[in-house]
Amino acid sequence: MIVRAYTNPWFERTWPTRSLASQLAPFEAFGHELGRLFSAQERAVRSGDCVPGSADATFELKDDGSQLSLSASLPGLTELDLELTATAEKLSLRGERKVSVPEGYSARLRERQSYAFERSFRLPVKIDPDKVEAKLVNGILTVTLPKAEESKPRSITVHAV
């Protein structure tokens, strides 16, 4: 018995060879475009047109049963730069960091920018706004939010019948 191998003309045709440079051309164009975009962003930040604002401020809200606790990392801010307001269901925080050059000096390089931010938090439980306390130590703001009496967990005794 003779077995004849099937030949496919598609595989037999000659394929044009491409140089490595022509194969990498799309990636080079992409890299050039990325470089252009990052350069434009860097120029905008240095000129002050684009300020990375609240990227410096980070927040964390915890519940320990009897109270809520908000921690915020606010580098470069003082207590005079902050405004805090609380209602039974909402906490609002506003702040502004101003970076200025002292009189008689000029800035050669400025990596820290002035910025302002405003954040509001809808609280998961009602709080007592009259008992809210806030402390700012080394750029870390800690806000203690005592829960309202109706929001605190209660122990319920079960009676057997």
Domain boundaries, the chain: 18-47, 53-100+113-151
Q: What angle do CA 98, 99, 103 make, to 5 degrees?
A: 120
Instruction: State the virtual CA torsion across 103, 105, 107, 108 in degrees, nearest 10.
Output: 180
Tell me: pLDDT of 52 over 80. no
Query: Can you tell me which residue has the tokens 């030949």?
Result: 7
In this predicted structure, what is the pLDDT of residue 54? 45
Tell me: pLDDT of 146 over 90. yes
For the domain spanning 53-100+113-151, the CATH number is 2.60.40.790
Write down the pTM of the prediction.
0.58
In this predicted structure, what is the pLDDT of residue 66? 86
Written as six digits, the tokens of 155 are 């122990």
Q: How many residues does the chain have?
A: 161
